[in-house]
Amino acid sequence: MKRSLFALFFVSMATAVTAGEQWHVYFGCYTNGKGGSKGIMVAPFDSGTGQLGKAVLAAESGNPSFLAVHPSGKYMYAVGEMASPGRKGGAVSAFAVEQPGGGLRLINQVDSGGADPCHLSLDATGRMAMVANYSGGSVASYQVREDGSLAGPVSFLQHEGSSVDAARQMGPHAHSVNRSPDNRFALACDLGLDKVFSYKMDPAAGSLTASGVAVLPPGSGPRHLAFHPSGKFVFVNNEMLMTAATFSYDGASGALRFLDAVSTLPVEDREQKGVSTAETVVHPNGKVVYVSNRGHDSIAVFSCEAATGRLSLIQNAPAGGRTPRNCNLDPSGRWMIVAHQDSNTATVLAVDGATGRLSATGQQIAVGGAVCVRFLAVP
């Protein structure tokens, strides 16, 4: 699909989509549970009809819980969420995408530098990769070579400290790292410290340099974030307090300023135990923000004021399975696919073009230990 079409997707949720647009949908999966997955799975998806086909194995890999697609569409990257004997941490793997079926061929694998790497992302040029190590409490960056392979780590940034929860925040737990829309800064959520770190990016060198830090209310447990399309706001889901926080963002300095936080649960369920948030997604039109709720097994749908970034909860839509983790909108903005870790499924939800509310489609497939969803166009 041409880049000009992608720009049109950001205009309106009601943008017309040509029936028959075909996508590979990749699923990052846990391989150490009862789901039976052996690695990264791939399924066909039609964005004209919302039809999701059967998932098949794309590549064997150990706990490839989070994935990132190279801007060229030629390569896929995955963390190996584990601490392996003989390694400082888990693994980061580079794969070549083999068309037309979407299978993956391992190019190389490098050490993540810390235990349990749980998230990774690429810069907009595809020249650098960034990884968050959860148990290690660190962030690492890598150069991406011309052939898609990963060079050794360029930057390693160890977070330090603790926060108020004695059970979960005795040390740092880096949970995600994402680039800014202008590709100048990377923001890393640390659940253990109640902080979001800002790092200056140098894609050519593959390096990160500390730039600043923003602090959340104690015990928040920041997990994943997403930028507003305007670049003026950042939305962070807080796993422990079950909130969605809004920050203003200064594109010149990479600095964040905390504005507000609202619950991701309806009033009647806010005392429920055993719940936690997982993913944050912003619709391309900037009018709607989504957060997945584990345990509550719902997707919180928020309306977003363009001028202030203020969020208002308008729906808690059933996620369609147990323990929704990563959820993602297809490039048309008309469908959301939700990965369910504990029901070993992936579900398609329809997005209302006027309000952003979600509804069931009846489309669900089996995917063992599914925790991440990524789209890649079929050439």
- What CATH code is carried by the domain that includes residue 189? 2.130.10.10
Does residue 316 lie within any of the structural domains?
yes
Quick one: pLDDT at residue 88?
A: 63
Does residue 280 lie within any of the structural domains?
yes
Quick one: pLDDT at residue 10?
A: 34
Total number of domains in the chain: 1
Quick one: pLDDT at residue 218?
A: 98
Quick one: pLDDT at residue 8?
A: 33
Quick one: pLDDT at residue 13?
A: 33
Q: Determine the distance from the C-alpha atom of residue 18 to the mean position of all C-alpha atoms in its chain, rounded to a whole number.
A: 27
Does residue 14 lie within any of the structural domains?
no
Closest CA to 236 of 221, 226, 248: 226
Does residue 64 lie within any of the structural domains?
yes
Which residue ranges of the chain lie beneath pLDDT 70? 1-20, 83-88
Quick one: pLDDT at residue 85?
A: 56
Closest CA to 165 of 240, 80, 248, 81: 240
Quick one: pLDDT at residue 84?
A: 57
Quick one: pLDDT at residue 32?
A: 81
Quick one: pLDDT at residue 83?
A: 65
Quick one: pLDDT at residue 351?
A: 98
Quick one: pLDDT at residue 306?
A: 93
Does residue 174 lie within any of the structural domains?
yes
Does residue 63 lie within any of the structural domains?
yes
Quick one: pLDDT at residue 357?
A: 98
Does residue 10 lie within any of the structural domains?
no
Does residue 331 lie within any of the structural domains?
yes
| ∠ Cα 120 123 125 (to 5°) | 140
For the four alpha carbons of 350, 353, 354 and 356, in that order, the dihedral sign comes to positive
Range of the domain at 87: 19-377
Angular region, 228: left φ>0, alpha ψ -120 to 50, beta rest? beta
pTM: 0.94
